[in-house]
Amino acid sequence: MKTHSTDYFNAFIQIAEDCPAQKGEAPPDKEPKTAARREFEMISGAPYRHTSDDAQYEIRAKPKGISREAYFSKGQPCFRASALTQRYGWGVHYDAEGRMALYGVETEAYRRLAEDGSLKQLKAMRSRK
């Protein structure tokens, strides 16, 4: 069975052009927790520990009892479509092993990563057409 990965390597996802946030903001902490809040807690709590596939599976499929193989047997949205990059002002950096960390759009680290020509530069998807 073919697998469809959401992982990137040596890449940086910049915030969407229509992102309303001027700085990285934590998604609201409410019950039940939103996917964006769970993504934020998982990645910000352990920078460069998880890959995109790890996060997507743990947050979206595992709670529903779906196997990792079944979940990735068809294409899944990557972090370019995440509310973290579209709404809450977080860029996502992927290291050489595909592990992720978040950087607020207001930080010097975000600016450095966005200007780094050695990284594959991607933009988050726009929320509106």
Q: What is the mean pLDDT of residues 109-114?
A: 98
What pLDDT, on a 0 to 100 scale, did the predictor assign at position 1?
Answer: 63
Tens digits of residue pLDDT in 96-105: 999 999 999 9
Q: What percentage of the chain reaches a pLDDT higher than 90? A: 90
Give dist(CA 104, CA 24) in Å, integer: 4
What pLDDT, on a 0 to 100 scale, did the predictor assign at position 129?
Answer: 63
Instruction: Report the number of distinct structural domains present in the chain.
Output: 1
What pLDDT, on a 0 to 100 scale, did the predictor assign at position 2?
Answer: 72
The more confident residue out of 77 and 43 is: 43
Q: How far is CA 111 from CA 9, 49, 117, 122, 127, in A?
A: 19, 22, 12, 14, 22
> In 10 A of CB 104, how many CB atoms?
17
Q: Is 129 contained in some domain?
A: no
Q: Is 98 contained in some domain?
A: yes
Enter the DSSP assignment of 62. G
Average pLDDT of every residue of the chain: 95
Q: Is 3 contained in some domain?
A: no
Q: Is 35 contained in some domain?
A: yes
> In 10 A of CB 106, how many CB atoms?
12
Give dist(CA 79, CA 117) in Å, integer: 20
Q: What is the mean pLDDT of residues 84-95?
A: 98
Q: Is 5 contained in some domain?
A: no
Do residues 88 and 26 lie in contact, with contact meaning Cβ atoms separated by under 8 Å?
yes
Tens digits of residue pLDDT in 56-84: 999 999 999 999 999 999 888 899 999 99
Q: Is 1 contained in some domain?
A: no
Q: Is 65 contained in some domain?
A: yes
What pLDDT, on a 0 to 100 scale, did the predictor assign at position 127?
Answer: 83
Domain that holds residue 57: 11-123
